[in-house]
Chains A and B, each alone.
Chain A
Amino acid sequence: MTRKLAYVLVTCVLFAAVSCQRGNNTSSDQPTIAFVLKTLNNPFFIDMQKGAEDAAQKLGVKLTVQAAEREVDVEKQMQIIENLIQSKVSALCVTPSGSKEVVPAIVKANKAGIPVLIVDTRVNQETLQAAGGKIAGFIGSDNLEGGRVAGEFTAKKLGGKGKVAILEGIPGHETGDSRLKGFREVIARYPEIQIVSSQTANWERDQGYNVFQNMLQANPGIQALFACSDLMALGALEAIAAAGKTGKIIVVGFDAFSEARDAVNKGTMDATVAQSPYEMGRTAVENAWKVLKGEKIQEDISLGVELVSKENAGAASGR
């Protein structure tokens, strides 16, 4: 008796979940574009989702957005892609949680005849070729250029000499690796600028706080910080405030989401490199739609990056 009640309850929970989520997605002959994000608990990807949704609405196409709970969970992302293949979506837009790890999932989509567009993070080309996988296109920011822009700004602010620290993303992530490469490339041209510490904070805010606090302990003379993402930079800002050094260390972030723009406006942060996740989401869905209609698309679409500093923070925060 009680057991029966259990299943009734479980079923109710399920139905409740279903009914509060299902809106207008019952017709199956309409093409569906699925967008797989790294996660939905990061403002960057929420902006991207918004862009994708707006584009889908304008084009009158059905959009499904799915994400793993954690940004780095490559296996869960693969499961989501497998499940979307099963539900016979027409096209897939994916922001890979791992540049190499996403490849088997792409191959599966290829086999099912579903075109795949890669967004934000590049797929490792060698791995893709070795596996015989194919993507319809890539839409993302020029991260290497972004790293260079950040490097130039930092070098200029430092007057060509000083001690710099870096907060890296997760090693092996193309986005972080490219930003790092661009930044280091520029700094290497200034012999008097020394990189005293370069460590990962795994893209996370709390780790940005902890890691930078430790860096400050080890190198109290740090004059500038480049964080490969704003989330880590914002964490580091708190560590700087706790050390009573607000405004004394040049902080440059990456992503330019609204909280970071505010920090730049207030002057606690010096600059951040703007990408437009909204544009990325919009462009990805528009191009997926073109692919579905059989139109040719540009294989590599680079959306520009732009430095947001106190001078232009107000102007650049248009959205």
Chain B
Amino acid sequence: MKIRELLLLYGRQFGTLSGLIALCIVLWILTPHFMTVSNLLNVAQQTTLVAIIAVGMTFVIITGGIDLSVGSALAFSGVAMATLLQKGVPLGIALLAGLGAGLLCGLINGLLITIGRLPPFIATLGMMSVARGAALVFTGGRPVSGFSDTFRQIAVGEIFHIPAPVIIMLAVYLIAHFVLTKTKLGRYTYAIGGNEEATILSGVNVRLYKTMVYGLCGMLSGLAAIILTARLNSAQPIAGMMYELDAIAATVIGGTSLTGGEGTIFGTLIGALIIGVLRNGLNLLDISSFVQQIVIGAVIIVAVLFDMVLKANKR
């Protein structure tokens, strides 16, 4: 009985997880270079950026919205922080500014959607262009590069041989899981996506919570920007293009419904890992980047297709 309930509750995650495991086993058989500690850490590290952005995306998609501006917000936050760092601003303040720049993009999105009543697709599409343009204007199109070793530790540092970005990612997932399942913000996130009208009628300040969700999404883009900048030792105004698509893909492969109201944080982590493992494995197998695009696209379609079939079966 207990197991049945668990399966019903976490069935979707269980399915995604077994997909990830199956994928790993296939790669293990196909190449000797996949299942090694150093490669697995390598994959984990490569997944962090998309995985962190996808957390914010999961919140937004659960409310029934979408955020297309995450990649541009990342570029904007990155160059803002990098410029400050180069001007000699203390590390802590520069990092806060990086997060703040992302938060700002997200809050503006939120306000446009709640107060301005714009559809999320349009508001964030606009922001995608505005933030990208701002990053380009800010830097004159040039990358901002060369930072202190202390700052670079964010990407190259290790704790017990685990790369620092992976630890940051895990921390983000634990906190986000807690927020989504145990706090008011989390419950209202589901409620808004499930039935926005009903949530408003039950006296919840939907505008406030929705704006917070978009702000959170923007801030996590800022966090990803910090890691990316430390990783490349450079902040590029053209960084993060198409990241929104990877983040959306990770979220939907992880079982979050684009119509809102359902989804889990750990599902998204598995979704992000599936994309990361696929890319890594296809590289290891020496498969051309053209074919890689087909495979990744096919996986996204198959994952969502099965979600639909599963739901139809339930009914």
A interface residues (Cβ-Cβ under 8 A, vs B)? 2-3, 5-7, 9-11, 13-15, 17-18, 20-22, 25, 28, 40, 64-70, 72-75, 78-80, 82-84, 86-88, 98, 100-101, 103-104, 126-127, 130-131, 170-172, 200
Contacts and interface: CB of A to CB of B under 8 A. Distances in A.
Nearest to A77: B232
| Most B CB within 10 A of own CB, among A14, A67, A170 | A14
B22 A7 contact: yes
Contacts of B284: 83, 86-87
A171 B141 contact: yes
Contacts of A200: 141
Contacts of A84: 283
Given A66-B286, A79-B279, A79-B283, A104 B232 contact: yes
B231 A75 contact: yes
A87 to B, nearest CB: 4
Interface stretch (B30-38, B60-68, B197-205, B257-265): B30-38
B295 interface: yes
Nearest to A7: B22
A208 to B, nearest CB: 16
Given A18-B30, A64-B286, A6 B234 contact: no
A11 B21 CA distance: 12
**A-B interface, 5 closest residue pairs, ranked by CB to CB distance from nearest:** A83-B283, A6-B306, A171-B141, A87-B33, A86-B39
B131 to A, nearest CB: 17
| Most A CB within 10 A of own CB, among B19, B38, B236, B286 | B286
Contacts of A2: 306, 309-310, 313
Contacts of B286: 21-22, 25, 64, 66, 87
12 contacts: A3-B310, A7-B19, A11-B22, A13-B295, A14-B26, A74-B236, A79-B46, A83-B283, A86-B284, A98-B234, A100-B145, A101-B233
A96 B280 CA distance: 20
Contact of B145 (A3, A14, A127): A127
Given A6-B303, A21-B288, A86-B280, 15 more contacts: A7-B18, A13-B298, A18-B287, A21-B285, A21-B287, A66-B288, A66-B289, A83-B279, A84-B283, A86-B33, A86-B39, A87-B284, A101-B236, A127-B233, A170-B238
Contacts of A40: 288-290
Interface string B138-149: 001111011000
Which applies to chain A's interface (DSSP): helix, strand, loop or mixed?
Answer: helix
Contact of B233 (A11, A21, A131): A131
Interface string B35-53: 0101100100110010000
B309 A28 contact: no
Contacts of A88: 33
Contact of B238 (A22, A72, A82, A87): A72
Contacts of A67: 289
A78 B236 CA distance: 14
B301 to A, nearest CB: 10
B19 A6 contact: yes
B31 A87 contact: yes
B236 A98 contact: yes
Nearest to B140: A171
Given A78-B231, A78-B232, A86-B42, A172 B142 contact: yes
Given A17-B287, A79-B279, A87-B284, A74 B232 contact: yes
A100 B146 contact: yes
A296 B278 CA distance: 38
B291 interface: yes
Contacts of A21: 285-288, 291
Interface in B233-250: 233-234, 236, 238-239, 241-242
Nearest to A18: B285
A172 B239 CA distance: 13
A73 B283 contact: no
Nearest to A177: B142
A79 B44 CA distance: 11
A12 to B, nearest CB: 10
Contacts of A73: 241
B232 A101 contact: yes
A135 B18 CA distance: 42
A252 to B, nearest CB: 23
A289 to B, nearest CB: 19
Contacts of B289: 40, 66-69
A10 B20 CA distance: 11
Contacts of B15: 3, 6
A104 B165 CA distance: 15
B77 to A, nearest CB: 15
Contacts of A103: 233
